[in-house]
């Protein structure tokens, strides 16, 4: 990444990219900031600030060239370079994540799955094999894996986080319903599905 951005701006950029890809697939030539803002319910001024922050500009009264903007976002967000990751937890959520092909559009390549259930060890989800979690340290070091996706019960999350950090993992995408403690230098992104639902429910009642 070429420039350090605020976390809110960084979270919005992949959403802009998704919209730009939709326009690109439809054969559209330009998109305006007001169109992006309207689709995401974001202030248009904020959209313009975000795009300016990644050193891209459009044409006045015309907008952003779709092909050029798509290419710029891909390069800025480093989407074209695959990032290999392991996924731990082959329950319903883990299976859904493992089967989702859309991650590849954003550079995420889940290459192996891990679980503790003896009945799941050795199975394959697509081309991804399920291994016992006891193998994760050696395999992560062997394959130079730096990213792990946690899709496990909350009571197991901290123990598993400690294990993968021992394996050299530097980034954890945490779907477990708890916060995990990590040492400095380790990046954690918590995906709290229950909290997202509460926000949705409260907005419904407004």
Q: What is the DSSP string of 70-117?
A: HHHHHHHTT-SS-EEEEEE--SHHHHHHHH-GGGGGGTEEEEEEEES-
In the CATH scheme, what architecture does the domain 83-195 have?
Answer: 3-Layer(aba) Sandwich (3.40)
Look up residue 98 and give its two tokens: 């493992």
> Is residue 1 predicted with pLDDT exceeding 60?
no
Interval 126-152: pLDDT, tens: 889 999 999 999 999 999 999 999 999
Which has the minimum average pLDDT: 48-62, 76-90, 125-139, 187-201? 187-201
- CATH number attached to the domain at 7-76: 1.10.10.10
Interval 67-100: pLDDT, tens: 999 999 999 999 988 899 999 999 999 999 999 9
In the chain, the largest separation of any two C-alpha atoms, in whole Å, equals: 61
Within the chain, all domains assigned CATH 1.10.10.10 are found at 7-76
Please tell me the predicted confidence (pLDDT) of residue 3: 57
Element (H, E) at 148: strand 147-150
Within the chain, all domains assigned CATH 3.40.50.720 are found at 83-195
Q: What is the pTM of this model?
A: 0.83
Do residues 40 and 11 touch, judged by C-beta distance below 8 A?
no
């Amino acid at each position: 990444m070429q420039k350090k951005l605020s976390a809110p701006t960084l979270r919005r950029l992949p959403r802009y990219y998704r919209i730009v890809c939709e326009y690109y697939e439809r054969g559209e030539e330009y998109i305006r900031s007001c169109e992006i803002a309207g689709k995401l319910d974001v202030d248009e001024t904020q959209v313009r600030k975000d795009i300016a922050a990644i050193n891209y500009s459009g044409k006045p009264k015309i907008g952003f060239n779709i092909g050029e903007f798509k290419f710029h976002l891909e390069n800025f967000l480093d989407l074209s370079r695959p990032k290999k990751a392991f996924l731990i937890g082959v329950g319903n959520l883990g299976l859904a994540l493992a089967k989702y092909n859309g991650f590849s559009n954003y550079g995420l390549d889940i290459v192996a799955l891990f679980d503790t259930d003896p009945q799941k060890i050795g199975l394959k989800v697509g081309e991804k094999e399920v291994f016992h979690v006891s193998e994760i340290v050696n395999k992560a070091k062997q394959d130079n894996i730096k990213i792990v996706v946690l899709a496990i019960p909350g009571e197991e999350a901290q123990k598993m986080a400690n294990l993968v950090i021992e394996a050299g993992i530097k980034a954890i995408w945490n779907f477990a319903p708890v916060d995990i403690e990590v040492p400095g230098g380790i990046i954690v992104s918590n995906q709290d599905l229950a909290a997202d639902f509460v926000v949705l429910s409260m907005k419904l009642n407004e």
